[in-house]
């Protein structure tokens, strides 16, 4: 067994995006092991995707890891328990790993990301640092007052990162969890907030490829109006690791870059899928579903 792997968490509901992500990883030339941790609920059934992954049930991880995820769920109430299973990777058999959300398309061979991880604790490639903490905190100014100026620029997108297993990383997350428990007012109760605080409290050695001197292109799909803009940006001499559709909505196919999420489908299947999803959007189903999900999250917070 090698020392590095990619961890994904999925079920039947996220199967379409999961299958597309697996295809994009393999088409990029990356042959690292891909470990699928079941999200819960109905299992993934896509045969082609399953042929490229190793399924590892939560029960296969050490009790310490399962207890840690359980502890996370008591504080990170914005996150359904299945989302938090990504943190089982810190207790898995691989010394270094990449975790990726399903709403991502790989645009390069992720093997090179492990080479760039080097001796760092964590590597990511995103521009979350430009948001000034608005997606992580209800009171971002409190974070800078507490931990110092520039703290918000150390933000990490929890949907895609590489990490090295170590006691320092676990202790950092435990400290962050305790800080959030003791200071709930400024924090949004989700894992991205916890990762940011863990990097600060644990003094993690992190590298963000989207910052100087690396200057990789933004990995957020919302920064590209269409595929032409994305391709032309890639010709500028700057690299890009992946495209992340966070905030687009589970069934959003109205933007020109959206069909990349359906690259694993044949032309007829892709067109019929887009037609169905367009009808859902036009009749207001997606908006109603989004509002309901948001209401449930607020109820959980209360």
pLDDT in tens, 64-98: 999 999 999 988 888 888 999 999 999 999 999 99
Domain membership of residue 283 (yes or no) is: no
Residue 297 has pLDDT above 70, yes or no: no
Domain membership of residue 302 (yes or no) is: no
Backbone angles phi, psi at 98, to 5 degrees: -115, 130
pLDDT reported for residue 253: 65
260 three-class SS: helix
**Residue range of the domain that includes 205:** 4-270
Residue 1 has pLDDT above 60, yes or no: no
pLDDT reported for residue 294: 65
Tell me what the mean pLDDT of segment 250-276 comes to.
Answer: 76
Domain membership of residue 102 (yes or no) is: yes
Q: What are the Cα distances from residue 90, in Å, to 4, 99, 290?
A: 12, 10, 31
List the CATH number of the domain containing 265. Answer: 3.90.550.10
Average confidence score pLDDT of the chain: 89
Is the pLDDT higher at 300 or at 229?
229
Tell me what the mean pLDDT of segment 32-53 comes to.
Answer: 95
Domain membership of residue 37 (yes or no) is: yes
pLDDT reported for residue 154: 92
Is the pLDDT higher at 41 or at 294?
41
**Residue whose C-alpha is closest to residue 94's, from 48, 127, 61, 133:** 61
Cβ atoms of 20 and 264 closer than 8 Å: yes
pLDDT tens-digit readout, 273-290: 778 777 877 787 666 666
Residue 170 has pLDDT above 80, yes or no: yes
3-state secondary structure 49-86: HHCCCEECCHHHCCHHHHHHHHHHHHHCCCCCCCHHHH
Read off the tokens for 206: 């992190």
Backbone angles phi, psi at 274, to 5 degrees: -65, -35
C-alpha angle 1-51-89 in degrees, rounded to nearest 5: 45
pLDDT reported for residue 234: 87
- Domains: count for the chain: 1
End-to-end alpha carbon distance in the chain: 45
């Amino acid at each position: 067994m090698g020392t590095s792997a990619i961890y994904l968490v999925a079920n039947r509901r996220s199967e379409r995006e999961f299958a597309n992500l697996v295809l994009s990883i393999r088409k990029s030339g990356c042959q690292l092991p891909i470990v699928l941790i079941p999200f819960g609920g109905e299992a993934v059934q896509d045969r082609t995707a399953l042929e490229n992954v190793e399924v590892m049930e939560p029960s296969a991880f050490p009790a310490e890891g399962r207890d840690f995820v359980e502890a996370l769920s008591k504080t990170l109430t914005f996150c359904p328990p299945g989302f938090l299973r990504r943190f089982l990777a810190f207790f898995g058999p691989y010394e270094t790993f990449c975790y990726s959300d399903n709403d991502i398309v790989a645009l390069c061979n992720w093997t090179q990301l492990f080479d760039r991880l080097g001796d760092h604790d964590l590597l990511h490639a995103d521009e979350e640092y430009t948001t000034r903490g608005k997606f992580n905190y209800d009171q971002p100014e409190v974070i800078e007052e507490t931990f110092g100026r520039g703290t918000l620029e150390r933000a990490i997108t929890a949907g895609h990162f590489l990490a090295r297993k170590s006691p320092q990383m676990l202790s950092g997350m435990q400290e962050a969890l305790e800080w959030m428990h003791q200071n709930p007012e400024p924090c949004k109760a989700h894992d991205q907030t916890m990762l940011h605080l863990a990097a600060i409290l644990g003094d993690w050695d992190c590298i963000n490829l989207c910052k100087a001197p690396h200057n990789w292109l933004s990995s957020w799909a919302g920064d590209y109006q269409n595929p032409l803009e994305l391709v032309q940006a890639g010709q500028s001499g700057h690299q890009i690791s992946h495209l992340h559709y966070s905030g687009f909505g589970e069934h959003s196919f109205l933007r020109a870059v959206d069909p990349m999420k359906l690259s694993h489908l044949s032309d007829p299947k892709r067109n019929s899928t887009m037609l169905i999803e367009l009808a859902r959007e036009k009749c207001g189903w997606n908006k109603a579903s989004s509002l309901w999900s948001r209401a449930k999250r607020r109820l959980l917070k209360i």
